[in-house]
């Protein structure tokens, strides 16, 4: 049976963790869902791991449509989430709706948009018109130049407060999911506890409702970024499938991320 937003909602209500991995093609879509991954994120990280770019900024809507179509052809069960790439969600709610609609037509069931409260109007516009949104806060890679690098966010009292407020505002605007990247585990836990929607963490500790990693990072294939939260699941596995199953099991049983992989 196809995983939907309602499936994730039920898992959240039953305090059951769900698993997310990035995915960019049909073959891996089949492999990942057969290994029990609940959500396939067609991430604009494809700019790094597929296209060889230093940032995600050059990824286009056409790139995202192409890879979403590939993933949709391979996935029968897993929910498909697609990233809105840089420049496709910042201009206006109407422009974003137009672009998000193309990702849905390519097979996405939900779109992910980077940004805090500034995106609230857009999130409301899309969700009121039938497009589910995952809001992405904390380290938002499309703003890497604004942040001056891939740095931990929310570590001062003021920035932590801002992130909590952003999370609340985005939930009120209708976001179905909230993804937090590179934030202290204690802050992500606090945000998870105040919200009534599932949270997905990457470098955000183990208290989130779900976890995501970039596939090529957790398979130990992409060595450019040496970030503390990345775990190479191939280290104790004999095959890609075993590594992915170990990730799924570790997330579901609260064994990943552990202290070693959080801030």
33/44 with CB nearer ligand KIV? 44
Q: CA-to-CA distance for 85 and 178, rounded, in angstroms?
A: 17
Secondary structure class of 162 (helix, strand, coil): helix
For the four alpha carbons of 45, 50, 55 and 57, in that order, the dihedral sign comes to negative
Q: CA-to-CA distance for 17 and 260, rounded, in angstroms?
A: 20
Window 13 to 42, contacts with ligand KIV (CB under 6 A): 22, 41
Shortest spacing between CB 64 and ligand KIV, in angstroms = 10
Window 68 to 127, contacts with ligand KIV (CB under 6 A): 83
Tell me if residue 181 is catalytic. yes
Q: Considering only CA atoms, which of 71, 70, 82 is closest in space to residue 32?
A: 71
Which one-letter DSSP state was computed for residue 24? -
Kindly state the number of chain residues that form the binding site for ligand KIV, as judged by CB under 6 A.
Answer: 11
Shortest spacing between CB 238 and ligand KIV, in angstroms = 26
Shortest spacing between CB 228 and ligand KIV, in angstroms = 15
Assess 214 for contact with ligand KIV (CB under 6 A): yes
CA angle 231, 228, 137 (to 5 degrees): 100
Window 126 to 185, contacts with ligand KIV (CB under 6 A): 179, 181
Catalytic pick among 33, 114, 171, 181: 181
Indicate which single residue of 11, 39, 40, 45 sits in contact with ligand KIV (rule: CB under 6 A). Answer: 45
């Amino acid at each position: 049976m196809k995983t939907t937003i309602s499936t994730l909602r039920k898992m959240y209500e039953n305090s059951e963790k769900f698993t997310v991995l990035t995915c960019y093609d049909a073959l891996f879509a089949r492999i990942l869902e057969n290994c029990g991954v609940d959500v396939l994120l067609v991430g604009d990280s494809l700019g790094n791991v597929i296209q060889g770019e230093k940032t995600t900024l050059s990824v286009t809507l056409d790139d995202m449509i192409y890879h979403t179509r590939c993933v949709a052809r391979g996935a029968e069960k897993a929910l498909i989430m697609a990233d809105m790439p840089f420049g496709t969600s910042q201009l206006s709610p109407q422009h974003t709706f137009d672009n998000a609609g193309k990702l849905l037509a390519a097979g996405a069931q939900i779109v992910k948009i980077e940004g805090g409260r500034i995106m609230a109007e857009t999130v409301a516009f899309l969700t009121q018109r039938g497009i589910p949104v995952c809001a992405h806060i904390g380290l938002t890679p499309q703003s890497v130049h604004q942040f001056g690098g891939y740095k931990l966010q929310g570590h001062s009292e003021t920035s932590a407060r801002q992130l909590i407020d952003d999370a609340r505002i985005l939930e009120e605007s209708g976001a179905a999911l909230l993804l937090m990247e590179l934030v202290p585990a204690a802050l992500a836990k606090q945000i998870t506890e105040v919200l009534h929607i599932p949270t997905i963490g990457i470098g955000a500790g183990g208290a989130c409702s779900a976890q995501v990693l970039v596939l090529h990072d957790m398979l130990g294939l992409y060595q450019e970024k040496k970030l503390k939260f990345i775990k190479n699941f191939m280290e104790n596995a004999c095959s890609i499938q075993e590594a992915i199953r170990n990730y799924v099991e570790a997330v579901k049983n609260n064994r990943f991320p552990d202290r070693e992989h959080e801030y």
